[in-house]
Copies of this chain bind each other. A is one copy, B any other.
Amino acid sequence: MTTPPEPRAIAERELCGLVNALAQRIAEHIRTRAGALGLTAAQATALREMTGPMTMRELAGRMSCEPSNATFVIDKLEKQGLVERRAHPTDRRAKHLVLTAEGGELRERLLALLTEGSPLAGLAPEQQRALQDLLEQAIPRD
């Protein structure tokens, strides 16, 4: 009587737990690999997402974190000489983040480390594609 069996909601809760569990596994994987390069997990994630010049806000979006946190992380990377904050070409409010030569090189090494022993290795390629489709549908368009 206290629990009107609502299997729909229960399944959704379990699903939330699973998503979080996998995210944690991924985070831990990144932590260990990044540690081998003297980076924290957040720094590695930032480096991973730096596919090209971008703004602080864009990086924060890619990292799924708050802009204030991106500031904190980029501070560290800049201090290590891996990233530069340049003036944005068209918007003086914004900063243009650019990888230094050293940063680009470290990024390549990081990406190589991250691909081996991935937490997603348990899924076949077409399953990964299916997972990607589902996740993209679950996440509302920006």
Chain A: residues with CB nearer than 8 A to chain B?
Answer: 2, 6, 8-9, 11-27, 30, 45, 48-49, 62, 64-65, 104, 108, 111, 114-115, 118-120, 122-123, 125, 127-132, 134-140
Smallest distance from the beta carbon of A107 to chain B beta carbons, Å? 10
B111 touches A138 (CB 8 A): no
Residues of B within 8 A of A13 (CB): 48, 111, 114-115
Q: Is the CB of A128 within 8 A of B12?
A: yes
The smallest beta-carbon distance between A42 and chain B, in angstroms, is: 11
Bound: A104/B1 CA distance, A: 13
Bound together, the chains give a CA A125 to CA B15 distance in angstroms of 11
Cross-chain contact A127 with B132 (CB below 8 angstroms): no
B9 touching A111 by the CB < 8 A rule? yes
Query: Out of B17, B128, B137, which one reaches A123, CB within 8 Å?
Result: B137
Q: A14 to chain B: closest CB distance in Å?
A: 7
Q: Which residues of B contact A15 (CB under 8 A)?
A: 120, 128, 131-132, 135
> Contacts A115-B9, A131-B134: A23 and B17 contacting too (C-beta < 8 A)?
no
The reply to whether B26 and A19 contact each other, CB–CB distance below 8 Å, is yes
Taking A17-B64, A18-B136 as given, write out 11 further A-B residue pairs in contact, using a Cβ cutoff of 8 Å, ordered by the A residue number. A9-B111, A11-B132, A16-B30, A17-B49, A18-B132, A18-B139, A19-B22, A20-B23, A119-B138, A122-B140, A131-B131
